[in-house]
Amino acid sequence: MIARLRGRIDECRPGMAVLDVSGVGYAVHIPLSTYYVISTDDAADASLYVHTHVREDALQLFGFASEDERWIFEQCISISGVGPKLALSILSGIGVDDLREAVRAEDKTRLQRIPGVGRKTAERLMLELRDRLFDAQGNPLGSAAGPLPTPAAPPKKDAVRDDAASALVNLGYAQAAAEKAVDRAIEESGAASLQEVLRAALSGLVR
């Protein structure tokens, strides 16, 4: 089982990264929170905590910039009805800190704004994650390991808009809603980089 990978970033886009580790390219599915951290030029290195997901017909790698992200991803997929794709969407749509806060506050509505999370799934997440993410005293559980930040090069404005909208559509948002959220994020926040635009647009969509 692969638990961690460190190598040169051959490719990095929302949802997927390819790491060259000693000449072998590993395709790793990543949430947007991890993309924000590792997106950079092709010469940069990245270190990812990896969850190896084995099925009868496939072997998939899911990578995370922090051990805490991986841990919460694994808590999510251990819940009935929540597969890796949906768990990745949850982390992309809300992030680990906001997910903890939503569970603590029993804010089902916020979870239901994430594509793929309906009322029943939100209720199941609330019920089962409460005991997985917090101890009896209400203190957060999980690793405190932080991400390994790397700088990101700002792409052109039109490319940012198109890439951000495409990333949101891939997460399950409707094309029109994605484009509207991106345009609003650029206009209201003045965001310039893809990472900034995605953060602002997602914040508007799940608010």
Give Cβ neighbours of residue 171 (< 8 Å, ≥ 6 apart). 15, 32, 89, 92, 93, 115
What's the rounded mean pLDDT across residues 182-207? 80
Which pairs with CB-CB distance under 8 Å and at least 24 residues apart come from 21-24? none
Residue pLDDT, tens place only, 35-47: 988 886 555 888 9
Residue pLDDT, tens place only, 106-119: 888 888 988 889 99
Instruction: Report the predicted TM-score, pTM, of the whole model to 2 decimal places.
Output: 0.74
52: domain CATH number is 2.40.50.140
95: domain CATH number is 1.10.150.20
Residue 142 lies in a domain: no
Would you call 30 helix, strand, or coil by DSSP?
coil
| Residue range of the domain that includes 192 | 157-206
Residue 124 lies in a domain: yes
Q: Greater confidence, 19 or 163?
A: 19
Residue 176 lies in a domain: yes
